[in-house]
Amino acid sequence: MDPTALAPAADLRADQLQSSLADSGFSAVTVLDQVDSTNRWLADRVRETGGAELSAVVTGFQSAGKGRLDRQWFTPPGVALTFSVACSPHTAAGHPWPMEYVPWLTLIMAHSVTRVVRDSVGAPAVIKWPNDVLVDSRKVCGVLASLVSPRDGSAPGVVVGAGLNVSQRHLPVPAATSLLLEAGDAAAVPGRQALLTEILREFARCYHRASADPGAEFGPGGEMRALLESEVDTLGRRVALHLPGSTAPEQAVAEGLGTSGELIVRGHDGAARALSAGDVVHVRPAPGEPRTAAEQRAIHEIQDRTAGDRA
């Protein structure tokens, strides 16, 4: 029997995680057998004690997870990787990140998951703006971030959580998938501890790089901005925008990301506008749209790697 069936966090070891992530700047990594929400648990601690430079919590089972717009989601114990990271974004000069750059942390986490899914499973993962990771148009991971103000009045912290479907064989909706379903073989899917370690390492690498100079990295021509845009499958295609209070979707072309990671769209009237995550209910490909450049790049990357492995 899978040990996680009775003890959902049996495959996760806090001491090993802490040791593996110490050189990435993590001050603490907590393992919980189960919790209602890793984001809520970590936010409560940031609120009471202030934000650490980097800390994380992972659980074997999350009983009351929420996504964007308070959407509920549930996975059985032991089959998903559910975790949150807390950080207190400061520049190399010791100043808090300008607030307009903080929303990019959601996309940094989505990128970190995307990169590890590609590297570890060989699945062509891409980012769906603003906070999902997809494989072949099916959701494998969701990301949710929140700003937390410590009670001591110190600079706000940020908590970024993710839920990655790992070993589910059956999912409640056809628009979802798991690493096991994509790999087709349980032996080809790394364990949750290995996946988490690599995701957090990549998140920390991008976070520290961006913190050196957020304006340079996320501004026009910034390397971090270009990297994230290259993985966003939403860009370069016609999309159907489901807006709050609207009964019919509005079509537009998604052209790029704005200063704070907003989606820049151009409507039929030729006017461009920036949409934040809170401005939309859903952003979906318009009917009949082909694969985007981001998805094609992901597929070619996996094909090239597979060919290299066989050579």
pLDDT digits (tens, 9 = 90+) for 197-233: 999 999 999 999 999 999 999 999 999 999 999 999 9
Asked if 116 and 109 touch (Cβ cutoff 8 Å), the reply is no
Q: Which residues belong to CATH 3.30.930.10 in the chain? A: 3-227
- 164 and 141 Cβ atoms separated by less than 8 Å: yes
* pLDDT for residue 292 is more than 90: no
pLDDT at 83: 98
Helix (H, G, I), strand (E, B) or coil at 237: strand
For all residues of the chain together, what is the average pLDDT? 92
- Nearest to residue 121, comparing CAs of 141, 144, 107, 104? 141
Please indicate whether residue 5 or residue 182 has the higher confidence score (pLDDT). Answer: 182
- At residue 88, the 3 state secondary structure works out as coil
* Residue 130: alpha-carbon gap to chain centroid: 9
Q: What are phi and psi of 187, to 5 degrees?
A: -65, -20
Indicate if the pLDDT at residue 5 is higher than 60: no
In 90-248, the DSSP E strands lie at: 125-128, 132-135, 138-148, 157-165, 237-242
Could you tell me the fold of the domain covering 234-291? SH3 type barrels. (2.30.30)
Measure the CA–CA gap between 101 and 300, rounded to whole angstroms: 31
Please give the backbone phi and psi of residue 99, each rounded to the nearest 5 degrees, phi first: -60, -25
Residues 183-200 pLDDT 10s: 999 999 999 999 999 999
What SS3 state is found at 171?
Answer: coil
Higher pLDDT, 74 or 116: 116
CA angle 303, 137, 227 (to 5 degrees): 60
Integer Cα distance of 85 and 203 in angstroms:
9
Instruction: For residue 170, give the DSSP letter.
Output: -
| Residue 6 confidence (pLDDT) | 64
Average pLDDT estimate for 120-143:
96
Under a CB-based contact definition with an 8 Å cutoff, are residues 177 and 139 in contact? yes
pLDDT surpassing 70 at residue 121: yes
Q: How far apart are CA 97 and CA 61, in angstroms?
A: 33
Mean pLDDT of 11-15: 97
Per-residue pLDDT at 311: 58
Q: Minimal CA–CA distance to 52: which of 77, 76, 80, 30?
A: 30
Closest CA to 171 of 87, 74, 84, 81: 74
Could you report the per-residue pLDDT of 24-56, keeping only the tens digit for each? 999 999 999 999 999 999 999 999 987 678 999
Note the CATH architecture for domain 3-227. 2-Layer Sandwich (3.30)
Domain limits, CATH 2.30.30.100, in the chain:
234-291
| pLDDT attached to residue 232 | 97
Cβ-contact 234, 244 below 8 angstroms: no
Is there a contact between 50 and 159 (Cβ–Cβ < 8 Å)?
A: no
* pLDDT of residue 246 exceeding 90: no
pLDDT exceeds cutoff 60 at 161:
yes
Confidence of residue 1 (pLDDT cuts 50, 70, 90): very low
pTM of the model: 0.93
Residue 150 has pLDDT above 50, yes or no: yes
**Do the Cβ atoms of 88 and 47 come closer than 8 Å?**
no
**pLDDT exceeds cutoff 90 at 308:** no
